[in-house]
A and B are shown apart, each in its own frame.
Chain A
């Protein structure tokens, strides 16, 4: 008999192609838009044609009489409605008052989307206008009408403090204060929002949903529908983009369910693109007033921060983004005194949701511009100033964040070195006053973001079930959802690494709450970290079980054995002892018949923050520095992004191909936030609900990207990795602002940097 030896090989850090990519390239993937259930009806929603008004009457008789219409509902038809949202401040169908143009008034289920749309046009609504409120500053005035039962129209407040900012200011040699203003943008998932609801005769509900948080929604929908959560099954078809937009329940979902309940038929509701722009969430707009100080030696002394959030008409996750913002103010750099206070104020504008970065783009925009300004006052180089105030590994910040791994200093140095930041900055600054309209600039910004989950809910965990069959094929059932980011591939990789099996020997089941174990959802850059550790936990249990059984057969100790390439091998020399499949069969078909099925629940060792928002909220923290290089034409205001040099502390690279894709996509999304995207409103009305007037970055406009991964090997991370999904979008706008200053000598504190706005700002500054 020939002896086969199998060397130990690792999948970690390899370029692993995305498991679902081949079917996507041939158009075979069926998104929710592509699904049709037998007997399915199509739903459409009538939205308000007034910004702020009383509803006097709604007449649906003509719509209901239209052939092909099965059901028309208004709030009066669904007395069982319950409020939804973070503050439970809206009903899915509005009763007596509308507070924004996206407000839902009535809904129709019909044989086709065209009939449903025709029916909407037959619904007659009589309104009585109320005074509009579209500026949060005006909303707070004592004589402003109240949009909800909330004093001064304040929906939410957040207050955080460490040290004593007065003391900090007293010991400062330089103090600066600026107001920054951040605009509306929206997710623009290429697949528009949609849902299909179907009731079985038993009363059980199956929801085909694009949600990023199926297990939280199962509970929320149960409460909303007053049924046992056990009777709700959520199935997630492949999702055409998430980016945080699918973290809350929005009115269209319960409305679709009400229609399905009333008609006894499956009902599908899919947005048009215009509706997607008008009625899906936005990124939280706000103003930030930031006051910062330093000592002559370059040590930061304090930050006082006041932010005012335009809450919009109702409250969704956007209003809670201060939770993340305050971490950047308190802990991105070492600062002894910090005082942060924010209010989210109701207006008749759209309401914001969570969006990749969750408030951190906004906070970083302010903080990193102040880092440049302070450095300039000190006559210090921006890099040196940042390095002086940067955190180190092992540090616990005054907010209680514990940086068990921290690569900020490496990120700063690597990004600066690879981009030749210092030299270019000096050279461009010297050219500011030179003749000609084409200016060049280079700007730097860094960021800190949760990279090991975020303990917001009672659990931040994820469950995994692993099933090995008689042929050593493995099925991983994970609570974690795939939204295009590639979690399915990374989880398969981590399981293969433990069990020594090829990638094609794993199936991942991740989209059905009746099968998969609990997970808190796709948010906070947590999936690789939390679901990854969970999958590894389940795989290690299976490995232990297999090796214990193999030890008996081979007369070796379990720790002398290993699993490689589908074989049980002797660890020291890799000699193949037995195919894994044979071992599994011998366990299964024996007197002591046993299947190898394991489960694991991973709860990250993070803490809930106390009422003062102090505590180590994440099990790990991600860091990054971006240096951007721009070309700006002062004659037109056009800013072109030439190059981005990015250095990211990702803990460890698990899938090189996947992580590059995340960083590149995030950089370009951040570029859009900085330079091209602007969802515009005039008196609450969206002016540009289409891709012609809402400008996404296109292929010719992308910058050259130089990306370096700093591997700090986080002790708690799966194979040392940290979360990275949100990080790359975060520091782009701040870095672009710093580059514009370097190119022109003018500091722009208001986003976005679209040509007209840049041109105006430069012209005003010259006066």
Chain B
């Protein structure tokens, strides 16, 4: 078996310490070791965005990040975003606007959309489309996802 290494990091606000094989991906650690299955495997090659997580405030495809690289960092997954009241309007908008069908891309979309809105609270349609470009969806044709995010962006209070 492969070499193990001990890592410490913050996962959704909670300090974690665990031993992981150096070859393991962050996605496999989340899903198979920590049993947090909200983050999805879609392609394993960083091309579909279903496994999107936040690492130190940046979105990352967790399928092409080594678990050991989580060491010392702040990791937030869909479970963390779901527990965050700040993103309730985003989640509700996705439901209200019909942005969810089979739902397999949805956790990654939510994490990515939360990131887009964090960086650009008043993102327009163009910025939203660009922001979601790395997240594939085969069901919806994206329109309702974009509309949902735009509705939230439109409603966010302007901070002077």
Contact = CB atoms under 8 A, between A and B. Distances in A.
A377 interface: no
Given A34-B37, A700-B129, A24 B145 contact: no
B47 interface: yes
B39 A27 contact: yes
A691 B47 contact: yes
Nearest to A698: B133
B95 A17 contact: yes
A263 interface: no
B144 A664 contact: yes
A27 B107 contact: yes
A17 B103 contact: no
How extensive is the interface on chain B, given as a class? 35 or more
Interface stretch (B65-73, B135-143, B151-159): B135-143
A372 to B, nearest CB: 26
A273 B42 contact: yes
A668 B48 contact: no
A387 interface: no
Given A25-B95, A665-B141, A666-B141, A699 B102 contact: no
How extensive is the interface on chain A, given as a class? 35 or more
Contacts of B105: 190
Contacts of A665: 101, 138-141
A191 B37 CA distance: 13
Given A29-B103, A690-B47, A699-B146, A484 B98 contact: no
A190 B129 contact: no
B92 to A, nearest CB: 8
A661 B138 contact: no
B7 interface: no
A31 B104 contact: yes
B130 A700 contact: yes
A696 B135 CA distance: 11
A669 B96 contact: no
A83 to B, nearest CB: 31
A553 interface: no
Contacts of B104: 31, 189-191, 240-241, 484
A667 interface: yes
A690 B95 contact: no
Q: Which of A22, A698, A702: most chain B Cβ within 10 A? A: A698
A455 B137 CA distance: 32
Interface in B24-68: 31, 35, 37-45, 47-48, 50
Contact of A485 (B98, B101, B142, B145): B101
B136 A18 contact: no
A238 B43 contact: no
B79 interface: yes
A486 interface: yes
Contacts of A192: 41-42
A25 B100 contact: yes
B11 interface: no
Contacts of B43: 273, 690-691
A53 interface: no
A112 to B, nearest CB: 8
B145 A699 contact: yes
Report the 10 A-B pairs with minimum CB-CB distance, sorted nearest first: A27-B38, A484-B102, A24-B103, A668-B141, A240-B104, A26-B82, A691-B47, A27-B78, A34-B37, A664-B141
Interface of B: 31, 35, 37-45, 47-48, 50, 77-79, 82, 91, 94-98, 100-107, 110, 126, 128-130, 132-146
Given A669-B138, A700-B126, 15 more contacts: A18-B101, A24-B103, A25-B107, A26-B107, A27-B78, A31-B104, A188-B136, A657-B98, A661-B98, A665-B138, A666-B141, A691-B136, A698-B133, A699-B132, A699-B135
14 contacts: A22-B95, A26-B91, A34-B31, A188-B136, A190-B40, A190-B42, A190-B139, A273-B43, A484-B103, A664-B144, A691-B43, A697-B141, A699-B145, A702-B129
